[in-house]
Structure 1
Amino acid sequence: METEAGRFTPGEVRTLASLAETFVPGVDGAGIGELAAQALVRAADPGQVARLRLVLRLLEQPVANLVTAGRPAGLTAMTIPERERLMLRWAYSPIALKRSGFQALRKLLSFLAYSAPGADGRNRLLGEIGYSTDDPPTTAQPTAVKPTVIDRMPGGQPVRLDADVIVVGSGAGGGVMAAELAAAGRDVLVLEAGPAVDETTMPRTELDAFSRLYLNHGLLSTWDGSVSMLAGSAVGGGTVINWMTCIDVPGQVRAEWAGEHGLDGIDGPEWDRDRAQIELEIGVTDSPFVPPKDAVILRGATALGWQAGTIRRNARDCTDCGSCPFGCPRGAKLGGLRVHLAAAVGDGARIVDRVRVTNLITEGGRVVGVEGNVLVEDPASGMPALARHGDPTSAQVRRLVARAPQVVLAAGALRSPAILQASGVHHRAVGRHLRIHPVPVVAGRMPEPVDMWRGTMQAACSTQFRDAGPGHRGYVIESAPGHPGLLALTVPWDGAQDHANWLRNSRHLVGLVAVTRDGGEGRTTLTRAGRVRIDYRLDGDGVRTLRHAAGSMVRLARAAGAVEVMAAAAPILRHVADGEDEAARFEAFVARVEAMDFGANRGTVFSAHQMGTIRMGADARDHAADPRGRVRDVDGGIIDGLYVTDTSTFPTGIGVNPMLAVMSMARRVSRTVLAEGRARG
């Protein structure tokens, strides 16, 4: 019989428990194994779940393990040291399925071990590593954004709504679009797949935040698991959980968009005016705080003679508590929830949360609305109501039909193309040209405590290599704030004790990441289950850029005084700063880092920015939207009444955090939506 974990058998859950005990010494394997099974069935595509179940069965095959581990026994029958040896063989295997299975399970189980509370509500490991956080007070003035109440009982007739304009998605682009249209007197309906939260209901723990506010409940990756991804899924989108880094699109990129892609006005005063207005609205200012982890960047850059400085951010009355990835309970983060959506609601806009738009409604060749599923929740638990006990894939829904003469897609670079694909909009560029800003990871162990989870998430950066140069496409070096769960899945695993030692030293670790400008051709498609499949491969220039960035980051960490430097590779590359020959050994270490293997599931790669899947441009064949955000059909003609304004419109990657760019682009597209709406009368 199957457990409440869903489609995982009791034997498979036991294997997950054994793996948890192998990866993290002393953890409650049974509890973590059950949580992992529940998380996978809830968040992963059925095809991915089936592949991981195959991996679990392979691990229990005695004959297969005789070849790999030298003993004819299943994983659960092995001793912990034997399991470790088996897992290391899988980690470095030439067989892609073994590497991807190892990485997917190791990352998930490590994250849960360092983020999930035990039976007593506490996590023993967090105390062992010295993790503690401030608990900021909730603001006395929570946001005025309250979702429209609709009938969420399952079955029955569809919920029917009408508006002048429907905005699908409420993140950086959707929020600005809704505010601009509502201010102009349009009847705006915003449909958001994620939940509505305000300052009184923001998560206070890492696991709760990932479960509630992140796309796929935080379990988002490329199909092969080689790139772990982060994206928001809540009213306010990524602006609720991002790190508030405000950097404009580099001039080199704007010139490329104007010259090579035909985006008129992008490289001139029109864009400058839009960006300036956005900065005014969200209160962009220099960070008044420079936490120890960010001081490392400034100190290292100064020692190397590199360009560096503080980062501007959208905050007011910030207490520097470090809870940005969980949402801001104080209301200091001036994102879409606090600013643009609040303004839109004040001007009469309606927001309906927990509605996943599935397809467009078309009549006579023009778009006249959308259809979607309203998530039905159990009032007692707040979890999706289940049609069959224990099977989260059967979450009950009620259909929604919303009609409007204009529809704006702002669901992000992963969901917006999925809606087009499900609706039969098959322009050749839809879902293609995916850019993800691949991020390599480096850590430095400092002699003094850094507490990378405290303080402003990102307060400083080095722009020394922002523009493309010899051997790289361009990147910005930033700090990587790390609460324990995210840190545990990021640190490569070269054995349980080695991994545990890195976590025990986490108070002294500073994480560095490089937001790289990629040119590889990723793609999004729909699976049989209707979920988004993400495929991505680094091209040669992309690999060279990651290597260049990793080499720069280890140099910066060492120059700032790190006593040990680690590059997140498989196996880990590390350098300890001691001995008379330290300088020569360090140069040899840098050379190894600059030759890192970034093949699938080898070097650690993250993405927090996904772009380009409905890219804008003048060429009707190569761009799925025109320069003003109007979506094109398969023949390149404009689809009447359909627009797009999120990161999917970016013709290329930009090499910096995209929030300012998305908001500025939304102002640009809003003028087209308003003008065409007025023309309709």
Structure 2
Amino acid sequence: MNTWLRDAVDHGAHVMVDQRVDRVVIDPTTHHATRVLLAGNDGPPIGARHVVVSAGTLHSPGILQRSGLVNPHLASHLRVHPCVTTYGYFDHLIDTHHVTMMTAYTDVVADLDGDHYGAKIEGMSHHPGMMANATPWHGALDHKYALLRWRYSTPLLTVSRDKDSVGNVFYDKNGTVKVNYTMSKRDQLSALEGIVASAKILVAAGAREVRTMQATVRPFVFHDDEVPVVDHPRFQRWIKTVRAIGCPAIATTPHQMGTRRMGTSPNDSVVKPTGKTWQCKGLYVADASVFRTSSGVNPMVTIMATSLHIADQLIQSFTDSAKL
């Protein structure tokens, strides 16, 4: 509200709130985007010389499909950052909710196979709801005990960069987005290595208890007379169990990418390097859906840089059209 939208309004943009875009109207003769239809709106369509769709990886493909675009790569090639959390409990108050949301990260397992597909481990803030969601059920008493001590805990988030997992989005008759995503064995290993590294980091920092999101792995707890060290024999045996169980069955992702990827040919992409769709004139896409691969890092800056490039290409098209 205070940056991009304000700049846009200062330069003549009109902002409409609480609206849902149904589809873009494409002239069947010229194949040019001419109007935008809003769902549930009795008013006239919104006319436009050019249309930029920026509804995100999950919803932008639906707008293009409803607009009549057909492309085998549309809504396919979903890329995400599968995330799992590992918790460490300390003897002293941590209160991560009082500090910065994310403070530090490590690349210790970020390059598992030599081409920079692995995982970043990030320190982060959290609240009881996040902990309740990420704590496997080992009984009512254990769950309550874990949540009552949340102020003494700190999470380490494993943010994996997926490489060969398979995903796509689709929509039901009401337009609600649905997701298919199957995590590959290689990407599961990436997340698992992040869990192992996170557990070791937490113990090295003094954690006396470590919990993972693996449903069948009990928390590891150092006895009162034991010093928390990574090379402790019991802890090492527990790490072997963590490896043997493998990646948790449930992961989360705050970052969705792909589904309308950019490329140099309509045979393997939905939009051109300029962000313009291959099938329609005057119709652009500018969001994370144009990514060809997952970024491997929190993608906000990459999204802004990509969108800036596409905006520059759109401006350039005005000049090119004027010359013609």
TM-score (norm 2): 0.91
Look up the match of 2:143. 499
Tell me: CA distance 1:645–1:498, structure 2 relative to 1, closer, same or farther (3 Å).
Answer: same
Look up the match of 1:446. 90
Alignment partner of 1:593 is 2:242: yes
Give the structure with the higher percent strand: 2
The structural deviation recorded for 1:580 is 6.1
The structural deviation recorded for 1:469 is 3.2
Provide the C-alpha distance between the structure 1 equivalents of 2:218 and 2:113, rounded to a whole number of angstroms: 25
Provide the C-alpha distance between the structure 2 equivalents of 1:553 and 1:471, rounded to a whole number of angstroms: 22
DSSP 3-state at the match of 1:425: coil
Alignment partner of 1:670 is 2:311: yes
DSSP 3-state at the match of 1:606: coil
Tell me: CA distance 1:489–1:580, structure 2 relative to 1, closer, same or farther (3 Å).
Answer: closer
Higher relative contact order (CA closer than 8 Å, sequence separation 6+):
2
Provide the C-alpha distance between the structure 2 equivalents of 1:471 and 1:361, rounded to a whole number of angstroms: 42
Q: Could you list the runs of 5+ residues in structure 1 that have no partner in the other structure? A: 1-336, 375-396, 634-638
Which string of whole-angstrom CA distances, capped at 9 and with x for unpartnered residues, describes residues 433-492 of structure 1? 101100011000011111122211001111233334379822211123212222222222
Aligned 1:248-267 pairs, distance under 5 A? none
Look up the match of 1:650. 291
The structural deviation recorded for 1:399 is 5.7
Provide the C-alpha distance between the structure 1 equivalents of 2:157 and 2:226, rounded to a whole number of angstroms: 30
Which string of whole-angstrom CA distances, capped at 9 and with x for unpartnered residues, describes residues 324-343 of structure 1? xxxxxxxxxxxxx2211111
Look up the match of 2:302. 661
Alignment partner of 1:371 is 2:37: yes
Tell me: CA distance 1:407–1:468, structure 2 relative to 1, closer, same or farther (3 Å).
Answer: farther
Look up the match of 1:631. 277
The AA in structure 2 aligned to 1:457 is M
Aligned 1:112-151 pairs, distance under 5 A? none
TM-score (norm 1): 0.45
Conservation of the 8 A alpha-carbon contact between 1:411 and 1:646: yes
Look up the match of 2:189. 544
Conservation of the 8 A alpha-carbon contact between 2:22 and 2:39: yes
Conservation of the 8 A alpha-carbon contact between 1:490 and 1:604: no
The structural deviation recorded for 1:530 is 1.3
Conservation of the 8 A alpha-carbon contact between 2:75 and 2:260: yes
Conservation of the 8 A alpha-carbon contact between 1:443 and 1:565: yes
DSSP 3-state at the match of 1:631: coil
Look up the match of 1:339. 3
Provide the C-alpha distance between the structure 2 equivalents of 1:400 and 1:649, rounded to a whole number of angstroms: 30
The structural deviation recorded for 1:572 is 4.0
Look up the match of 1:190. none
Look up the match of 2:45. 401
Provide the C-alpha distance between the structure 2 equivalents of 1:535 and 1:524, rounded to a whole number of angstroms: 6
The AA in structure 2 aligned to 1:551 is V
Tell me: CA distance 1:399–1:482, structure 2 relative to 1, closer, same or farther (3 Å).
Answer: farther
Conservation of the 8 A alpha-carbon contact between 1:547 and 1:595: no
**Identity across matched positions, percent:** 30
Aligned length: 315
The structural deviation recorded for 1:400 is 6.0
Aligned 1:60-459 pairs, distance under 5 A? 337-363=1-27, 364=29, 365-373=31-39, 398=42, 401-459=45-103
Which string of whole-angstrom CA distances, capped at 9 and with x for unpartnered residues, describes residues 398-429 of structure 1? 56621101011111000111111222212111
Provide the C-alpha distance between the structure 1 equivalents of 2:139 and 2:57, rounded to a whole number of angstroms: 36
Look up the match of 2:212. 567
Q: What RMSD over aligned residues (CA atoms) do the two structures have, in Å?
A: 2.0
Which string of whole-angstrom CA distances, capped at 9 and with x for unpartnered residues, describes residues 530-579 of structure 1? 11111101011111111111111111111111000011111344211236
